Structure 1
Amino acid sequence: MNLPAETSTFVGRDTELSEVSQLIADSRLVTLTGPGGVGKTRLALRAAASVPEQVYFAELAAEQNGDLLAHAVAAALGLREQSARPQADVLAEHLADQRLLLVLDTCEHLIGATRDLVTRILAAAPGVRLLATSRQPLGLPAECVYRVEPLPDADAQRLFCDRAVAVQPQFTPTDAVVRLCARLEGIPLALELAARRLRALSPEELADRLDDRFALLGGGRRAGRHDGLRSAVGWSHELCTPDERLLWARLSVFAGSFDVDAAGQVCADDRLANVPGLLARLADKSIVRADDDRYRMLDTIREYGRDWLRELGEEELQLRRHRDYYLTLAREADADWFGPNQFSWALWVRCELPNLRLALDHSIASAVGLELVGALWFVWFCLGEIREGRYYLDRALERNSKPGPARTKALWAAAWVSFAQGDLELVARRTAEACDAALAQQDWAGAGYAHLGLGALKTVNGDPERGGEAVEQAIGYFDQAGGRHVGRLVAVTMRALSLTMRGQYDRAGALMAEQRAECENAGEIWARTSGDYIRSRVELGRGDAVAADRLARTGLRAVWRLGDILSSAIAVDQLAITACAIGDHPRAARLLGAGQRIWDSFGLTQFGSAEFAGPRLEAERRARAAMGDAAFEREYQDGAAFPPERAVGYALGGLPNSRIVRWNLPAPD
């Protein structure tokens, strides 16, 4: 056995080690793949050390000539040169009756030669198993490919601390270690290089300086390809063809993951005509990782590509192409939001949010950025990204003061987001400005959305009658605009809410029946679920708490799936109210605590409105009276400790068979 001695402790990888060991036992050819520095060689050595057969290790990084590959492997086996015959023949003959494991380390630069030699060995030597490490598979039918991933967070921190103690025996972990390991993405080479830097820098300083990680983690001496992070990634770059390198550079403008269509739209031109084929080749070489139908790069790989993109002088061009691509999709999503594809668009947003942020960051001060942030109104308000929406809308409006439809849309969208957070003073200013601007521009749909915000503001400020009048105006403007607008369905919901708040349950119920029919006819989900909340209030007002509970849970199930955090908070509160009405006061207390935690994640409870908060406060008063303060607080704090996912799961669990208490919500005086 000629395995190199381990010079440091082996950290983590228990599952991977077990899986690779089993693959070696079951397969004659196993290839460990993954990006540079991820730990393929170390895992291969540890797995090979546990094999019962004789093991030989051939390190191939220094061999650049494929014609001499067989000589390098023969040398690792201790086989002397026999110049009269081809070395590959001698090697195959020598191995024919052997039982051993042959480890071929670092094959990516000699893929063709390695493939040919391995094919020959497999055919000539049935007792020989091969374990290869490579940044891309060998591409043989008998090959079992195992992708080595970066270390998970806990193991990354263990590795860093282990290496840090070797450098500084008195080293003590701090919170900066968690941040540092996260930014280095669990790449063992990067973690080890960072630990070396502790001789000169603290973990806090290291984490702060990682924006230029290649300079920081250069490794100092240049004795080998793994001495520094840049040399490790640069080795992969050298193994790529010119068109693969160009695509690598252009793909660096993406944040997070991307799909093949996005790569083609943003990166393709006369120089890169076959982006799907090149992308598959980059995945084979561990430059990008394929996850189902999407691809992603490690930040270290991306930053290396971005450096090359700057060198090529293409960075601004590619960022504009990236921005324009996502603007086109945002327009499409906005136009298609009213309809049956809302769950599909919600999934698209979850996948593409990092790229949407990048496009906004690059363009927020321009008219394009203003249009983009407005087109994404449904992301901010309907899909739960409320704080982020407030951030981008505020910045866009500050930097784009010229009147126009895009600014009007951003104004009413900003008003809606501010409403969700309970910033009612800002809602008043922005709805007024949006109303004036939309009417001046004869933007009737914009006028509808702006007046809808005005109606919601009046309603939560305790004037549901005038709020209903503003909503009626909004409906009229939507009708004047023509076409289909999800705002019109929301306006009908708000009209019904104003009626409910005045105790006019039958009129509100009739409106909501019409709204539900229209939603179902269009395949619309989001507005229908907001209608479920109103229908729940109507049924509770009529005295049917069980029906009210069922409707609230139906609505919560859909809005949580969409990611609508605002509607989810409202629905959890409503379920607390129905629990109290049914007589399950401990459940009501727990749901009130859970709802409060969700509200706290983005804004003021019930928009900071005493009018809206009335039923919630009444449920709390009744539950406290029934349970006593101490018991109520125990259940409330238990609910408040729930993370949102658990809170919603608990809320959706339904109600036990409890004593039903008829509870008619009192109409205002």
Structure 2
Amino acid sequence: MNLPAETSTFVGRDLELSEVSRLMGDSRLVTLTGPGGVGKTRLAIRAAATAVEHVYFAELAAEQNGDLLAHAVAAALGLREQSVRPQAEVVAEHLADKRLLLILDTCEHLIAATRDLVTRILVAAPGVRVLATSRQPLGLPSECVYRVEPLADADAQRLFCDRAVAVLPQFTPTDAVVRLCTRLEGIPLALELAARRLRALSPQELADRLDDRFALLGGGSRTGRHDGLRSAVGWSHELCTPDERLLWARLSVFAGSFDVEAAGQVCADERLGNVPGVLARLADKSIVRADDDRYRMLDTIREYGRDWLRELGEEELQLRRHRDYYLTLAREADADWFGPNQFTWALWVRCELPNLRLALDHSIASAVGLELVGALWFVWFCLGEIREGRYYLDRALERNGKPGPARTKALWAAAWVSFAQGDLDLVAHRTAEACEAALEQRDWVGAGYAHLSLGALTIVKGDPERGGVTVEQAIGYFERAGGRHVGKLVAATVLGLCLLMRDEHERAAALMAEQRAECESAGEVWARSGGDYIRSRVELGRGDPVAADRLARAGLRAVWRFGDLLSSAVAVDQLAMTACAVGDHPRAARLLGAGQRIWDSFGLSQFGSPDFGGPRLETERQVRAALGDAEFERGYREGEQSPEGAVGHALGGLPNSRVVRWNLPAPE
């Protein structure tokens, strides 16, 4: 299960839990509806906790782009496939033989996309059940809709008192609590917000102020449950100081979570100086929730703040400031990627991906968006976000046709991403344009990356001789540009592969020794892993499979942590060869299956190259001959069904190789 942890007690809802459980047994699609803050998510989590299947939880509140909904669900499932096929199709295929419960939380802003994805899943995966939460039904014929109502009076008072004791251990209920809970109409979010105010106000004072607030918002009349919640949130807003209200509104431009630095850079100005202090006060009032060194807003709170931001006339300004802040950081990450901070930047991306998406969605048709998507090339390629990279790069290039360095960079980045997906025709088209543009602009760095892509394409198409010449040209362009560029180290790896294909193993070994020395001097990890792969092949050719295994594992360890599945597939194939070389054929069969599963996720196994794929095919032939068809297929399927398990096993080292075993988490 990947259910979020419940950080407070669950109060009441016995009848609701029983009914939802019954509906889940009768229907494969149950949608919990109701206004924001009524407790749909908590009810779904508690109902799912008793499910007999595995449960996967996809939180969709931060995802604003319906085109990327399936990607968000795939991430919740732990699915890292980056196929050229539509991601919804990939998710449905992945689930086809699974038996599990999938929770889709907060769907109302993505109704059409959710409806389409759920339809695919229900058709393709008969063993999958879906539990959705939304302010409105999905609108599918097979959907069973259950409306979540506010808490009954007694449960509302229990919830308020429970939260009150957590704030003030000496709290004692009074008659004012009954009046307060009645006025808040049993909406859990409103009750929790009210309880947090007990540090400053008594229940009587809270109830009196809430009376005033209702009168201010609508003459004391109540037109619906949602009005009760909005009034409660508005009342919390009324109790905030002016600077707290202003920061609340400005923070609404963030998607997902954010840190203090981001809040300060995006929100501070002459009207709002001490952002960290004001943010701490908002956290104390439960307007934002603190999670270690990051903060987030509940969806209802964010929406209320966004409405106020529009009223202030600042929405576009704040979105531009948000975009510019993340562009600045993306430039810094791009410039710093060649160096010792790669894992730090990878962690930053994992935390900030919702905000990066938001910045791209807001600017993709502009020159700023073109620059941003190109600066994030390492996210798309090195960190395995290939499908999203393709999505944003395609749209940025379609909408920004004016030649310039930013377009050139987006072109070669798009070529690299398309190469990973196996779309070699598009690689050829974009590489040709990038090469021509870079040379016209005397952009030597861009020329280096573009020629590197052209050389790699030529190699996998079966001409390592000409490809090697082109890669050497790429290295020359990087040297002409001066400075340090990770592309030069990648080019050395690709040139080493050419030398292996030409049986020049000692030259390849010497070149990789130089590459590794430069990587170690710079503290570079990602590009070094490619050199480890080439050195592993050299050692295997020299007849030392244990050394070859050690080097391949070193490379895999790095790229698997980054989430780079393309490099992971190459390394897993190499480990299958080392296992075969020492006679561990069952292990080799599992690794061949795992490697093929990873390759298949890109759409073109071993890049479709007979030269590149030849060693793998020969290994498979030897392993099959040693085990027999039945045992080989059994091990192969085991690796294919659980590539993560096979990779973790492979990273333990060969038997008797005197390599220390270690545990590696699945890629983030």
Would you call these one fold, judging by a TM-score over 0.5? yes
Are positions 1:58 and 2:174 aligned together? Answer: yes
**TM-superposition CA deviations, 1:141-168 (whole Å, max 9, x none):** xxxxxxxxxxxxxxxxxxxxxxxxxxxx
**TM-superposition CA deviations, 1:96-128 (whole Å, max 9, x none):** xxxxxxx999444453344999xxxxxxxxxxx
Amino acid in structure 2 at the alignment position of 1:305:
G
- Could you say which structure has the larger radius of gyration? 1
Alpha carbons 1:61, 1:107 under 8 Å: kept = no
SS at match of 2:649: helix
Structure 2 vs 1, CA of residues 590 and 60 (structure 1 numbering), >3 Å: closer, same or farther? Answer: farther
Tell me the distance in 2 between the aligned counterparts of 1:549 and 1:296: 44
Alpha carbons 1:60, 1:107 under 8 Å: kept = no
**TM-superposition CA deviations, 1:8-34 (whole Å, max 9, x none):** 548589x99xxxxxxxxxxxxxxxxxx
Counterpart residue number, 1:112? 200
Counterpart residue number, 2:379? 379
Counterpart residue number, 2:242? 242
Counterpart residue number, 2:423? 423
Counterpart residue number, 1:362? 362
Tell me the distance in 2 between the aligned counterparts of 1:8 and 1:628: 57
Are positions 1:594 and 2:594 aligned together? Answer: yes
- TM normalised by structure 1 equals 0.68
Tell me the distance in 2 between the aligned counterparts of 1:225 and 1:280: 30
Report deviation, 1:45: 5.8
Report deviation, 1:228: 4.4
Counterpart residue number, 2:73? none
Amino acid in structure 2 at the alignment position of 1:396:
A
Counterpart residue number, 1:216? none
Report deviation, 1:515: 0.6
Tell me the distance in 2 between the aligned counterparts of 1:534 and 1:60: 74
Report deviation, 1:622: 1.3
Report deviation, 1:317: 0.7
Structure 2 vs 1, CA of residues 613 and 235 (structure 1 numbering), >3 Å: closer, same or farther? Answer: farther
SS at match of 1:295: strand
Tell me the distance in 2 between the aligned counterparts of 1:476 and 1:516: 19
Amino acid in structure 2 at the alignment position of 1:494:
V
Alpha carbons 1:59, 1:106 under 8 Å: kept = no
Amino acid in structure 2 at the alignment position of 1:58:
T
Are positions 1:344 and 2:341 aligned together? Answer: no
Tell me the distance in 1 between the aligned counterparts of 2:251 and 2:229: 20
**TM-superposition CA deviations, 1:7-63 (whole Å, max 9, x none):** 8548589x99xxxxxxxxxxxxxxxxxxxx9998544667999xxxx9963364687
Structural mapping, 1:271-350, within 5 Å: 271-350=271-350
Counterpart residue number, 1:411? 411
SS at match of 1:587: helix
Alpha carbons 1:503, 1:541 under 8 Å: kept = no
Are positions 1:649 and 2:648 aligned together? Answer: yes
Report deviation, 1:541: 1.7
Amino acid in structure 2 at the alignment position of 1:590:
R
Alpha carbons 2:197, 2:285 under 8 Å: kept = no
Counterpart residue number, 2:28? none
Counterpart residue number, 1:506? 506
Report deviation, 1:625: 1.2
Report deviation, 1:225: 8.1
Counterpart residue number, 1:452? 452
Report deviation, 1:227: 6.7
Counterpart residue number, 2:536? 536
Amino acid in structure 2 at the alignment position of 1:512:
M
Question: Cα RMSD between the aligned structures?
Answer: 3.3
Tell me the distance in 1 between the aligned counterparts of 2:504 and 2:455: 18
SS at match of 2:174: strand
Q: Which moves more between the two structures, 536-545 or 272-281?
A: 536-545
Report deviation, 1:248: 1.0
Report deviation, 1:240: 1.8
Structure 2 vs 1, CA of residues 602 and 249 (structure 1 numbering), >3 Å: closer, same or farther? Answer: farther
Amino acid in structure 2 at the alignment position of 1:426:
L
Amino acid in structure 2 at the alignment position of 1:278:
V
Tell me the distance in 1 between the aligned counterparts of 2:163 and 2:326: 45
Tell me the distance in 1 between the aligned counterparts of 2:376 and 2:12: 53
Report deviation, 1:597: 2.2
Alpha carbons 1:374, 1:409 under 8 Å: kept = yes
Tell me the distance in 2 between the aligned counterparts of 1:531 and 1:40: 62
Alpha carbons 2:193, 2:236 under 8 Å: kept = no
Amino acid in structure 1 at the alignment position of 2:200:
G
Counterpart residue number, 1:470? 470
Tell me the distance in 2 between the aligned counterparts of 1:286 and 1:616: 56
Report deviation, 1:596: 2.1
Alpha carbons 1:258, 1:294 under 8 Å: kept = yes
**TM-superposition CA deviations, 1:427-453 (whole Å, max 9, x none):** 111111111100000001110111100
SS at match of 1:222: coil
Tell me the distance in 2 between the aligned counterparts of 1:517 and 1:115: 68
Alpha carbons 1:107, 1:114 under 8 Å: kept = no
**TM-superposition CA deviations, 1:258-302 (whole Å, max 9, x none):** 111110110111111111111101111111111111111122221
SS at match of 2:551: helix
Structure 2: where are the runs of 5+ without partners? 1-10, 18-41, 47-149, 181-190, 208-220, 658-668
SS at match of 2:302: helix
Report deviation, 1:393: 0.7
**TM-superposition CA deviations, 1:290-337 (whole Å, max 9, x none):** 111111112222122112212222111111000000101111111111
**TM-superposition CA deviations, 1:499-523 (whole Å, max 9, x none):** 0112111110000001101111111
Q: How much identity, in percent, do the aligned residues show?
A: 78
**TM-superposition CA deviations, 1:374-426 (whole Å, max 9, x none):** 11111111111111111111111111110000000011111111111111111
Tell me the distance in 1 between the aligned counterparts of 2:340 and 2:171: 60
Structural mapping, 1:158-197, within 5 Å: none
Structural mapping, 1:206-217, within 5 Å: none
Structure 1: where are the runs of 5+ without partners? 17-36, 65-102, 118-131, 134-220, 659-669
Tell me the distance in 1 between the aligned counterparts of 2:164 and 2:407: 64
Report deviation, 1:601: 3.2
Counterpart residue number, 2:547? 547
Structure 2 vs 1, CA of residues 114 and 587 (structure 1 numbering), >3 Å: closer, same or farther? Answer: same
Structural mapping, 1:14-93, within 5 Å: 42-43=158-159, 57-58=173-174, 60=176
Structure 2 vs 1, CA of residues 46 and 445 (structure 1 numbering), >3 Å: closer, same or farther? Answer: closer
Amino acid in structure 1 at the alignment position of 2:654:
L
Amino acid in structure 2 at the alignment position of 1:321:
R
- TM normalised by structure 2 equals 0.68
Alpha carbons 2:393, 2:410 under 8 Å: kept = yes
Alpha carbons 1:448, 1:475 under 8 Å: kept = yes
Counterpart residue number, 2:254? 254
Tell me the distance in 1 between the aligned counterparts of 2:394 and 2:487: 22
